[in-house]
Amino acid sequence: MRAPLTDLPVAFEDVSLRIRDFTILDRVSLHLAPGAPTVLIGPNGSGKTTLLRVAMGLIEPTAGRVTWGGREHIPPQRRAIVFQRPAMLRRSTAANIEYALAQAGAMRSDWPAHVAELLGLVGLAGFEARPARRLSGGEQQRLALARALARDPEILFLDEPTASLDPAATKAIEDVIRTVAARGIKVVMSTHDLGEARRLAGEIVLLHRGHVVESGTAADFFAGPKTDAARRFIAGELLI
C-alpha cells in the first residue's frame, strides 16, 4: 500500500527571489519538518512575508527549489495560510468557513459539525450568522484561522497573526496556535514580537535582507545566539 501524500517536510534549497534589481530572498535553505512551531523573526523588509508566500506555493522563486514532501510544484492541498490582513468573504462567519470546507472537498452533510467545532476552537461560537466583515480585527484573525483550519492542513503558515492586536486578542490567537500545534499541525509563523517568539517558538529563523542569518531551536537561539546580528536583534537594537 502506498503511503498517503504529504506536504511535509517543506524544503528550501538555495531559494532566491529577485524582482527587477531587488533581492527579496537570497539563497535561503530551510527544512520545515513536523514538530513545534517555527517562528520567523527579523526586521521589516527582511523577507518574512515573502518566505511564507513561497513556502505556501503562492510565489515561484527565481532560483533554487522548494519541495513539499519531496515533490515540486504541487498545489496547496494540505497547507493553509493566514495573511496579516486576511480578506473576509462578503458572507456570514459560518459561510466563510463553509466556503473553505467546500474547496477542501468536505462532505456537505459534515459542514455544520465542522463549522461548530472550528468556531468553538477559535472562540467564535455564536457568531455564525454575523457578517464576517463586521467582526473586529481580532475576531477576523480568529475567523481566518478557523477558515485555514477548515482545509485540514498539515502545515499552517501565519503571517504576523497578532500584529496590531491588543493583548487580550493576542492571547486568544496565541492560545489557538498552541492548541493547533498540540494537534500535530506544523505551524510556521512570522512575528516582530520577540516575546511572542519566546512564548510560541520551538525553532527560530532570523532573517535579514532576505538571508537566513541564524536558525536553530528557540532555547539555543535565545540562550546563546551565534551571530552578532542575532545578539543585536535580541538586545532590541535596530538591524538596518
Partner 1 sequence: MPSDLTAVQLVLSADPELMGIVSLSLTVSLAAVACAALIGIPLGALIALTRFPGREACIVVLNALMGLPPVVVGLAVYLLLSRSGPLGSWGLLFTPQAMVIAQAILVTPIIAALARQTIEDLWVEYREELAAMNVGPLGRIATLIWDGRFSLTTALLAGFGRAAAEVGAVIIVGGNIDGFTRTMTTAIALETSKGDLPLAIGLGIVLIAIVIVVNALAWGARRAGERFSG
The binding track of 89-108 with respect to partner 1, each residue x by CB under 8 A or -, is xxxx------xx--xx----
Least Å distance, CB 95 to partner 1, is: 10
For position 66 contacting partner 1 by CB under 8 A, the verdict is no
Q: How far is the CB of 146 from partner 1 (least distance, A)?
A: 13
State which of positions 23-62 bind partner 1 (CB under 8 A). 56, 58
Site for partner 1 in 110-149 (CB under 8 A): 131-134
The residue range among 5-13, 82-90, 176-184, 218-226 that interacts with partner 1, by the rule CB under 8 A, is 82-90
| Out of 64, 76, 123, 216, the residue judged to bind partner 1 by CB under 8 A | 76
84 touches partner 1 by CB under 8 A = no
Of 86 and 225, nearer to partner 1 (C-beta) is 86
Among 25, 28, 46, 83, binds partner 1 (CB under 8 A): 83
Stretch that binds partner 1, among 11-19, 83-91, 184-192, 199-207 (CB under 8 A): 83-91
Cβ pair 95, 119 in contact under 8 A: no
CB proximity list for 39: less than 8 A, separation 6 or greater = 188, 189, 190, 191, 196, 197, 200, 201, 203, 204, 205, 218
77 binds partner 1 (CB under 8 A): yes
Binding residues (CB under 8 A) for partner 1: these are 56, 58, 75-77, 80-81, 83, 86-92, 99-100, 103-104, 131-134, 151
